[in-house]
Amino acid sequence: MIPQPQNSNSLKWSRYCLEIDSRTLVMGVLNVTPDSFYDGGRYHKFRDAVEQALRMAEEGADIIDVGGESTRPYSNPLSLEEELKRVIPVVETLSKELEIPISIDTYKSEVAVRALEAGAAMVNDISAMRFDPAIGNVVAAAGVPIVLMHMKETPQNMQSNPTYKDLLGEIMEFLEGAADKALSMGIQRELIIIDPGIGFGKSFDDNLVILRDLWKFSSLGYPILVGTSNKAFIGHVLGAPVESRDTGTMATIAAAVMNGAHIIRAHNVKAAKETVTMIDAIKEGFPAPLS
């Protein structure tokens, strides 16, 4: 039996309650960018982004994660002004049209502040508060969940020959330290989510090891989020271009859920929802049918 997190069986805050132990949650990826590795430019325009988010919600997304800055390997930082211009109108509109929580994918405290004011209800920080520590104060004051992700170095250099002496041990130590810092800043323990950072400063083999041994992260006592969607290691294994990695993505999602993931982050919400529902049924017994 895979250990369950030591904190609450649900993420409860404001008007939201996400039952993380009764089923696996799906976070739909909405990149409001011209240059993301998978869907860059596809939803860069405001109306296209909103329509895609509404579609993902209809397909069963539990959370919509809105990001305005590409953090693909070797990408350059985006200005605060441009990131705000991209994400705030989308967040504001979606928070009024959807009942599910909107997450803001940012490491900038000012973007987090403005997005939360616009109706966002979560913060997903790829830097785990390293790039802008003030984001922790913002999250604590707002009383919302935060995702703390492991990344080696920065997007600009994270894939420049990443090496580890103890892959899992180093990632777990990093995440435990990030969570402790979050607690010290006043973020509620039950609102902390950890992410091992698939593809962020990891070799292809590292990503496979993390998925295989994901259950070990349960010992930290926090819900686990995993994002594998269409990433390069899938293309490496299958010899598939980025637009042809759905099957591989669903295989990695299945592995993540079998090994203890509570939330998965995906571009193809419909396929991901079906995948996690099937794996949840294998793990726990037949659930209520998808509507």
Catalogue the active-site residues: 231, 265
Helices (H), the chain: 46-58, 80-97, 109-118, 134-142, 167-184, 204-212, 232-238, 246-258, 269-284
DSSP states along 249-273: HHHHHHHHHHTT-SEEEES-HHHHH
Q: Tell me if 229 sits within 8 A of 38, measured CB to CB.
A: yes
Judge contact between 109 and 138, C-beta under 8 A. yes
Using CA atoms, how far apart are residues 12 and 183, in angstroms rounded to an integer?
Answer: 17
Task: Give 65's DSSP letter.
Answer: E
Q: Does the CA dihedral 191-197-201-202 come out positive or negative?
A: positive
Our CA dihedral for 147, 153, 159, 165, rounded to 10 degrees, sits at -100
CA distance 60 to 14: 21
What residues contact 141, with CB distance under 8 A and at least 6 apart? 186
Residue 89 CB neighbour total at 10 angstroms: 15
Q: Token pair for residue 103?
A: 């997450």
Task: Report how far residue 112's alpha carbon sits from residue 144's, in angstroms, rounded to the nearest whole number.
Answer: 11
**What SS3 state is found at 104?**
strand
Q: Could you tell me how many residues make up the chain?
A: 291
